[in-house]
Structure 1
């Protein structure tokens, strides 16, 4: 079996194992994919470590020691859990790993099992070469992680907190990256994810009078107070927060000079953002903090005036923001209501980013150049979170890295995330495997 067929067979097996993570401790069952990967690596000579914080919630690492202790290590982080599905909304069987007209369908096919399979295949090849007398200079580790889809508490976060020395976090690659931008003059550009926005979840509380529903007169309503707060939050437009990453993204599109200047300077109107086309939403997310209203609750009995109501907010903040600056943004949105609305901090994940420079960056850029020699390479912030943030917190750098065919644009790839009939083109499966083989060869040999 050639290496591409081997990689595709592994990917289909990972999909069929149904490692669905619904956010509860008893879900995931990543042990199935961990066992599949351990079987796949059998006889390769790779060193194996398993991590199991709860029964069935297994992460597994495969390391190929380097010949030079001073050489840079490389760690590939791939998650092996997937999000739930609404099976009645799918045309293709979600865990059948069907191939139709050169496209592989299945939950996790894009997020991120096609990358996980490519990482495993590339590292197994390195392990076999090491057995044959050609070890890498730097240690290479592939880590298949549980629980990424629920924040990593039973996966990357748990390992970082309980076994930080298990493998190197210095240079990490994970999801996504490698899609193209629809450049206006017909030239090409590829993206690499260099960071991710912070997740700051907040709950706003409003208090009021209580009493029987038949006597509402002169009662101060917690619901009306919270409704006013919700309206202000919903209509609030966070100011643009630009940096050099945003400027590089804008300039990659080759818009007319006036549009480019307005976007880079933070003086753009809605019409200027619409020039991004299908990427308008992504561009706004890239350049602004966002506040989503995600839950509202008050009262338990229909005939009782509730004395308390609350509103949930999911806030995504750009690098540079902190918990305090996010709370200040909420107070600015609330205006004169800020003294009467309580802000409760739920969970938060600070933003993280890595530099678009250095040896690993250059290895990725050179690898892309092998396949798309005319393409520029543009750093972007990921639309969602990934396990790379744990590597960055451990003092390392981390990038989202894969590779898609020309014409597979960033907006299209983002739309597939967690979608019905999630899929990946076989061409992109092969390109991503080739890219991982190439970047490993450039960086650790």
Structure 2
């Protein structure tokens, strides 16, 4: 397929190599092998004169940063955080080889094509283009290929923020995902910009009952029955809608009739949002999902201990203490029988819908889609941008999709079988990053 520009050609070629490197993160420390993608990126930047720095907190778990110093030390810097790892595949469910980067009918198929290697490739191509131009940007530009994002960044951006926080600037950061469209009911358009993300409040609930032989259960408190009742009560929790400016602006962007709009603002009628119902509910609620249940090892032994693990995602302003109180209230008379253990806990983070970088994003969107409103949203999952916000910077999800590529379409591709990205969206994202870098850094 003919590419619009050599820059787009470079990005799509790089994307395919990143997919073929198969840097699969199965959430264990020795998986990932992001060194393969780090080496690919280092070859991609060979001869450009950029400063290169590698980070390897665990063997083969390599992140890599490429920096072009700005001409004005006082100018705003820009850091592009693109992750290089991908999630595992269920191979029998794929009809395309997940690591062949096959291009068919205007699509590139492969694990990580959408999440987020096409953005990573666009970031790299634009950064290299700035380096090859021979003209320094006003502010410093850094592109980072981050390892381990799919496992919450402990061996990637999170490790860098903790151990090497001065390796590059966290002041203004871009990463996944943004620039998809909201399907307004009147046929108008709106573009999404991701300004924040929910936190983590993982819990393990433990109960104890009577041990014994499976053949003689009479008179014994059965631990499995107890944990089942705990799971039932937790699953029945219904949290209130968190109505704020972001939720209200998001709902109004769909231009529903007044009754539907008011119902959504009150936290009902999610079915009116179609394939965005689940995401929209998650964006507006603390969510609690029982995901792991463990009890017993042998079929003829009554277990004395059982565990229930919960994936809980808080919104900005919802504390870990509030979540424990909610769980204990739901457990009722069983609360004193349940031990609540904190696993991964992270507060939600959000950046302002104002400031130089946000305004540059809005203006860049306007270059491509004049007059189309921009709608800030909260991501239900996590990204490396939370580390930038914790370091005192701002972080936004930024990419760009063709008209008709809705937020629902993009979300459905994340971690899916036969994951793909439209070649036209790769090219549009490259153009958008190039325009934004020019606008923000004068590059």
**What's the TM-score once normalised by structure 2's chain length?**
0.97
Cα contact 1:318–1:351 (8 A) shared by 2: yes
Tell me whether 1:50 sits opposite 2:48 in the alignment.
Answer: no
CA deviations 1:156-183 (Å, max 9, x no partner) are 0111111000000000000011110110
For 1:338-417, list aligned pairs within 5 A. 338-417=335-414
Contact 1:31–1:59 (CA under 8 A) maintained in structure 2: yes
From 282, 287, 295, the equivalent of 1:285 is 282
Distance across 2 between alignment mates of 1:182 and 1:335: 42
Q: In structure 2, what is the equivalent of residue 240 of structure 1? A: 241
Contact 1:77 1:142 in 2 (8 A): yes
Matched, 1:4 2:5: no
Are 2:122 and 1:118 equivalent residues in the alignment?
Answer: yes
Deviation of residue 328 (structure 1)?
Answer: 1.3
Alignment of 1:10-25 (within 5 A): 10-25=14-29
- Residue 77 in structure 1 maps to residue 81 in structure 2: yes
Q: Structure 1 residue 214: deviation in Å?
A: 2.3
SS state at 1:58 partner: strand
- Is 1:144 equivalent to 2:145 in the alignment? yes
Match of 2:191, SS state, is strand
CA distance in 1, matches of 2:277, 2:13: 37
- Please tell me whether the aligned partners of residues 7 and 430 of structure 2 are also in contact (alpha carbons under 8 angstroms): no
Give me the whole-angstrom Cα distance separating, in 1, the residues matched to 2:301 and 2:85: 43
Return the offset for 1:211: 1.9
Deviation at 1:404, TM superposition (A): 0.6
Q: Does residue 41 in structure 1 map to residue 45 in structure 2?
A: yes
**Which of structure 1's runs of 4+ aligned residues deviate more than 3 A?**
none
Separation in 2 of the partners of 1:383 and 1:263? 18
Contact 2:114–2:421 under 8 Å retained in 1: yes
Paired with 2:372 and 2:255, the residues of 1 have a C-alpha distance of 13
- Contact 1:74–1:140 (CA under 8 A) maintained in structure 2: yes
Q: Deviations over 1:212-256 (max 9, x none)?
A: 222212211222111111111111111111211101101101111
The farther-off stretch of 199-208 and 429-438 is 199-208
The answer to whether the aligner puts 1:102 opposite 2:106 as a matched pair is yes
Partner residue of 2:155? 154
**Aligned position for 1:60:** 64
2:270·2:281 contact (CA, 8 Å) conserved in 1? yes
User: Is the CA contact 2:203–2:311 (under 8 Å) kept in the aligned structure 1?
Assistant: yes
Whether the 8 Å CA contact 1:115–1:402 is kept in 2: the answer is yes
Pairwise CA distance, 1:311 = 0.7
Q: Distance in 1 between matches of 2:19 and 2:78?
A: 26
Unmatched segments (≥5 aa) in structure 2: none
**1:257 Cα offset (Å):** 1.6
2: CA distance between counterparts of 1:308 and 1:40? 53
TM-score, structure 1 as length reference: 0.96
Corresponding residue for 1:178?
179
SS at match of 1:338: helix
- Per-residue CA deviations over 1:319-348 (Å, capped at 9, x if unaligned) read 111211111121122122212211111111
Q: Which moved more, 1:333-342 or 1:174-183?
A: 333-342
Q: What is aligned with 1:315? A: 312
- The secondary structure found in structure 1 opposite 2:345 is strand
SS in 1 for 2:421: strand
Instruction: State yes or no: 1:423 paired with 2:420.
Output: yes
Checking the alignment, whether the CA contact within 8 Å between 1:206 and 1:223 is kept in structure 2 is no
Deviations 1:61-103 (A, max 9, x none): 0011111111000000000111111222111111111111101
Partners in 1 of 2:48 and 2:354 — Cα distance?
Answer: 33
CA offset at residue 262 of structure 1?
Answer: 3.2
Deviations 1:388-412 (A, max 9, x none): 0111111111011000100001111
Tell me the distance in 1 between the aligned counterparts of 2:241 and 2:223.
Answer: 32
Q: How big is the shift at 1:301?
A: 2.0
Matched residue SS, 2:336: coil
**Alignment length, in residue pairs?**
438
Q: Secondary structure at the match of 1:275?
A: helix
Contact 2:126 2:430 in 1 (8 A): yes
State the shift of 1:14 in Å.
0.7
Distance 2:301 2:30 in 1: 37
Aligned mates of 1:236, 1:191 — CA distance in 2? 30
**1:295 match: secondary structure:** strand
Deviations 1:249-279 (A, max 9, x none): 0110111122223322x2x43xx22111111
Structure 1 position 333 matched with structure 2 position 330: yes
**Equivalent residues in 2 for 1:203-218 (5 A)?**
203-218=204-219
Match of 1:300 among 297, 301, 307: 297
Q: Tell me, in whole angstroms, the C-alpha distance in 1 between the residues paired with 2:271 and 2:382.
A: 25
Is the Cα–Cα contact under 8 Å of residues 153 and 384 in structure 2 kept in the other structure? yes
